[in-house]
Amino acid sequence: MYKYSDDVILRLSDGAYIPKDPENRDYKEYLAWVGSGGVTLPEFSEEDLARQKAQLDASVESSWRASELQVIARQIEALEEADADVSPPDLLPGTKPQWLRFRGQVNNWKEGAENFPEQDQRPVRPA
């Protein structure tokens, strides 16, 4: 059995990559196999593509989580400075307890969390 790729043919029995070269012995065997009715599998199955998408989505959400935790830390620091009568830089809306609660939600937004990695289910910043 074989899998098709743009550049090579993958022989599944031993994992060999066969160049699409008419002089190559393995490629000739592959063409004979196809000529006798063999059906080459697509490069990626629907399951492969779904798995790749899930991995990409999880990576995107993990990056969002890391950057959002930095924003939260800066916001909490600014709110603490405001409490100390120091003029804070451009505060985002929300109170310190709201940002602390949001930080907990963002910390929990990772593999295994309900609805992770669906972007429209991300925790929402305090308003």
Q: Is 55 exposed, middle or buried (0-12, 13-18, 19+ CB in 10 A)?
A: exposed
Q: What is the pLDDT of residue 22?
A: 93
Predicted confidence (pLDDT) per residue in 43-91, tens digit: 888 888 899 899 999 999 999 999 999 999 999 998 888 766 655 555 6
- Report pTM: 0.63
From first CA to last CA, the distance across the chain in angstroms is 57
Q: Please state the domain extents for the chain.
A: 2-35, 46-121
Distance CA 19, CA 46 (A): 25
Q: What is the pLDDT of residue 27?
A: 95
Predicted confidence (pLDDT) per residue in 107-122, tens digit: 999 999 999 999 999 9
DSSP 8-state code for residue 124: -
Using CA of residue 93, residue 99, residue 105, residue 111, what is the dihedral sign?
A: positive
